[in-house]
Structure 1
Amino acid sequence: MASTVTSERRPGYGQLLRTPGALTFLLPGFAARQPFAMLTISIVLLVQHTTGSYGSAGAVAAVTGVSMALFAPQSGKLADRFGQRAVLLPGVLVHSASGSVLIALALAGAPLWALFVAAVPTGASVPQIGPMVRARWAAKLDGSPLMSTAAAFESVTDEFTFVIGPVLATALCTGVHPAAGLITEAALTLVGGLLFASQHHTQPQPSRADGHARAEHVSALSIPGVRVLAVSFLGIGAVFGGMQVSLTAFSEEIGNPGANGLLYGIFAAGNMLAGIACGAIAWKSAPRTRLIAGYTGLTLAASGLWAMHSAVLLGGLGLIVGLCIAPALITGYTLVESLVPASARTEAFTWLTGAVALGQAGAVTVAGRLADTHGSSAGFLVPMAGTALALVTLLSLRSRLAPRSSGRTVARSGVGHRVPVAVD
């Protein structure tokens, strides 16, 4: 990949953080996005403890993920139209309340169908803080070279939450109480979400307030490139979900449940380190070329997980898998800026986030069943299959990821396009 890098560097993270008003939404946003990384693993650990089945635990987590995937884009669409604050305030209240109900039912030994019922509003109301922060950057830095740095910074922040969140959730569930992870997740959602919503002066202008913008508003999913990206992000979700369940099962098999948080933290740390590196490089290669290259590496790395039978080897390969995820994530979010008009970007970001959640939901279900019947090695086949299918989709539909040719969008200096690049 060295041939694709220029000798210059992007504007640095320090310059980005000095953007007026940035810290006012970044700090509460960081707290509010922690629950996204804690939710699935907290549900898996709680339900597995109360039912004794990884399959059941994965199924409940999957219902939560599917609900989030279905409702997140609608949340993004409403935020684009009515403003982020109007969506966040009721959302965090519903999420905290429904999460508390799920905890109570699980501890009471309620039947699986009752857990499914509680899981639906819990997932549907997950606040989409990451997409909302990205939309605030896009509104504040529209046309600035700092946008590409912001895209990398957001990926690093996301991955940092996936370093902290699962480790914290695992430590709480195994060291304090099986429900402690989900209790903390609900509390952080409530406090962080309300603080983030209070920063309404940095939110993008709602399209409802602009009659012209309302007339031109289109659904992000009507754009072919967004649909391709959403399918490809299912593969990233398959990695997250498959790793969470399979690493939990692997740690149980070796008689060290606490190793789960450490192994998943190593995987997430690789993701974060790669994100930091990507943010420091000004790429000349086309974004879709980088996306395909990142997915190729991710598929190859994920293909070896099932064969790792020691914690050291699994940790090492997990680190490599993590290193391959960040380039794919950053490039996917980068492409949104050139594919989607400003009036639909929050929705577009939530489609990608929802796709990750949907892929994660399917992965925890399938990996949970496989781990129950065939052991953790079988569960690790899920990330391999998910990334391989996503790669095939990208290779087949890569032409749909070309930036829009209309002057309205391409004339803008979007994320990752501050220097001329070849289309491929």
Structure 2
Amino acid sequence: MTARRTVDDPTRVGYGALLRTPGAWTFLAPAFVARLPYAMLSLGIVLLVLETHGSYGTAGTVAAVSAVAQALIGPQTGRLADRYGQSAVLLPSVAVHAVSVGALIALALGHAPVWALFLAAAPAGASVPQIGAMVRSRWVAKLSDSPATLNTAFAFESVTDEFTFVIGPVLATGIAAGVSPSAALIAEAALTVVGGLAFAAQRATAPARHPRTEGVAHVSALASPGVKLLAASFLGVGTVFGALQVSITAFAKDVGQPDMNGIVYGIFAGGSMVAGVIYGLVNWRRSARQRLLACYALLLAGCSTLWAMPNLATLTVAALFCGLAIAPTLITGYTLVETLVADGAKTEAFTWLTGAIGLGLALGSTAAGRLIDGHGASAGFTVPLVGVGLGLVALLTLRHLLVPPSPASRTVARGGQRAGGQAAVLTSAALD
């Protein structure tokens, strides 16, 4: 297989070829186990606090504290992983996570005051391992000389993210309904520890460390205006996840089918996953920046009908169509951010996007919970409409910031031409 391809080369690399990359499964399998709890934590917290404290607003706020902590601390752990190595960050993270989740469960079951729940929820969220960002960094390290395969890897990772959002909520609600909400969070913590430790053990595929050079100031990934813009737009995507988790739960309870909330949310995430798979099979000719704007606009359209659905069946259909735009938006966003930063800041850049989703999830769940308590379940669905609308305005206004910088020695969103003696690498999310 040719190492470098140009835009005019129609050759595509499919998922099968990607998964045959030597050493890929050694980190992909444990990474999947460790990523699955990401979609379980917030919903598990909502279900637990709702059962013990009886308020959607309180449940959403506690989940929001966890998500905010993850959003703020996650990029810092990404920076540490770039500097000291992934294993050095993962080992303490999973230990803190297990202890914090255990404390949160004990406090909730003991009907502790809300401020005490905050004290446990914050470290529980802050210590969530940034596995998705770390896996993407491993793909970049392995496939930097094979742009077509790297394109496929970005698509595959976003599809995997969505698959965890299909399985995670269903698993959390199934355990909560069949056993208890606390059991769902115990399962979340166990998967995090087992998957995180197994992933950390795969040192052979880890990217090279980039320790700080004496006398050279470290430049954060946020120094790039394009990274800031993408993070802001992913904040809007996060409001979709957060608001839908709380709003679907409330809506299902109102119509007398509380056990269906995980199924409805899973269908929403399943639509995203299917769209991501198809998106990765298309040989796109438009630039990644143009595709991001189009996908984000479609996401806004999908969010615009949720609040008006009269029953659970129509809400499920509306959620499915809303989900169809999620994965393509994420795939293209992760593709673009990788082009905007140097090698020593890639994990940090990925975690800023993941953290922005978490922060948006926090804002979305909190706002939706408050609206639901005051105005009913349907009011919660207006939150993602506002969040995505603001994100689209930002993208349209500042889209010029998403142009990759020179020189072409780093990966760019389009093109495989040589510049400065080094080949620029095509990282469009299309499969070329």
TM-score of Structure 1 vs Structure 2, range by shorter chain: over 0.9
Counterparts of residues 231-310 of structure 1 (less than 5 Å)? 231-310=232-311
1:105 maps to 2:107: yes
Query: Does the 8 A contact of 1:298 with 1:321 survive in 2?
Result: yes
* Residue 418 of structure 1, CA deviation: 8.7
Alignment match, 1:413: 425
1:395 maps to 2:396: yes
Q: Distance in 2 between matches of 1:84 and 1:73?
A: 13
Alignment match, 2:195: 192
Alignment match, 1:27: 29
Alignment match, 2:419: none
Q: Secondary structure at the match of 1:274?
A: helix
Q: Distance in 2 between matches of 1:376 and 1:339?
A: 40
Q: Distance in 1 between matches of 2:320 and 2:111?
A: 37
1:157 maps to 2:160: yes
Query: Does the 8 A contact of 1:79 with 1:346 survive in 2?
Result: yes
Query: In angstroms, what is the RMSD of aligned CA positions?
Result: 1.8
* Residue 336 of structure 1, CA deviation: 1.8
Deviations 1:47-95 (A, max 9, x none): 0000110000000000000000000000000000000000000000000
Counterparts of residues 327-338 of structure 1 (less than 5 Å)? 327-338=328-339
Structure 1: gaps spanning 5 or more residues:
none
* Residue 371 of structure 1, CA deviation: 0.9
Query: Does the 8 A contact of 1:105 with 1:115 survive in 2?
Result: yes
* Residue 278 of structure 1, CA deviation: 1.2
Deviations 1:93-133 (A, max 9, x none): 00011000000000010000000011111111010000000
Q: Distance in 2 between matches of 1:309 and 1:266?
A: 18
**Structure 1 stretches of 4+ moved >3 Å:** 5-9, 214-217, 417-420
Distance 1:386 1:9, change over 3 A: farther
Q: Distance in 2 between matches of 1:377 and 1:292?
A: 27
1:10 maps to 2:12: yes
* Residue 407 of structure 1, CA deviation: 2.9
Query: Does the 8 A contact of 2:90 with 2:129 survive in 1?
Result: yes
Q: How many residues align?
A: 414
Alignment match, 2:120: 118
Query: Does the 8 A contact of 2:271 with 2:323 survive in 1?
Result: yes
Query: Does the 8 A contact of 1:89 with 1:194 survive in 2?
Result: yes
* Residue 7 of structure 1, CA deviation: 10
Query: Does the 8 A contact of 1:29 with 1:133 survive in 2?
Result: yes
Deviations 1:185-235 (A, max 9, x none): 000011110000000111100002x859x9485210000110000000001
The structure 1 residue matched to 2:60, chosen from 58, 61, 75, is: 58
Q: Which amino acid aligns with 1:358?
A: L
Between structures 1 and 2, the one with greater helix share: 1
Alignment match, 1:321: 322
Query: Does the 8 A contact of 1:155 with 1:326 survive in 2?
Result: yes
Q: Distance in 2 between matches of 1:215 and 1:56?
A: 46
* Residue 6 of structure 1, CA deviation: 9.4
Q: Which amino acid aligns with 1:28?
A: P
Q: Which amino acid aligns with 1:337?
A: E
Q: TM-score, normalised by structure 2?
A: 0.93
The structure 2 residue matched to 1:174, chosen from 138, 159, 177, is: 177
Alignment match, 2:38: 36
Q: Secondary structure at the match of 2:258?
A: coil
Q: Secondary structure at the match of 2:298?
A: helix
Q: Distance in 1 between matches of 2:429 and 2:160?
A: 22
Q: Secondary structure at the match of 2:334?
A: helix
Query: Does the 8 A contact of 2:298 with 2:325 survive in 1?
Result: yes
* Residue 417 of structure 1, CA deviation: 7.9
Deviations 1:260-294 (A, max 9, x none): 01100110000000110111112110111100100
* Residue 309 of structure 1, CA deviation: 1.3
Alignment match, 1:372: 373
Q: Distance in 2 between matches of 1:385 and 1:418?
A: 29
Q: Distance in 2 between matches of 1:172 and 1:10?
A: 41
Q: Secondary structure at the match of 1:355?
A: helix
Q: Distance in 2 between matches of 1:51 and 1:30?
A: 32
Structure 2: gaps spanning 5 or more residues:
1-6, 413-422
Q: Which amino acid aligns with 1:254?
A: V
Counterparts of residues 135-146 of structure 1 (less than 5 Å)? 135-144=137-146, 145-146=148-149
Query: Does the 8 A contact of 2:12 with 2:431 survive in 1?
Result: no
Query: Does the 8 A contact of 2:90 with 2:196 survive in 1?
Result: yes
* Residue 175 of structure 1, CA deviation: 1.8
Q: Secondary structure at the match of 1:397?
A: helix
Counterparts of residues 199-210 of structure 1 (less than 5 Å)? 199-208=202-211
Q: Secondary structure at the match of 2:395?
A: helix
Alignment match, 1:218: 219
Q: Secondary structure at the match of 2:270?
A: helix
* Residue 152 of structure 1, CA deviation: 0.3
Distance 1:22 1:309, change over 3 A: same
Query: Does the 8 A contact of 1:284 with 1:419 survive in 2?
Result: no
* Residue 8 of structure 1, CA deviation: 4.3
Q: TM-score, normalised by structure 1?
A: 0.95
* Residue 373 of structure 1, CA deviation: 1.3
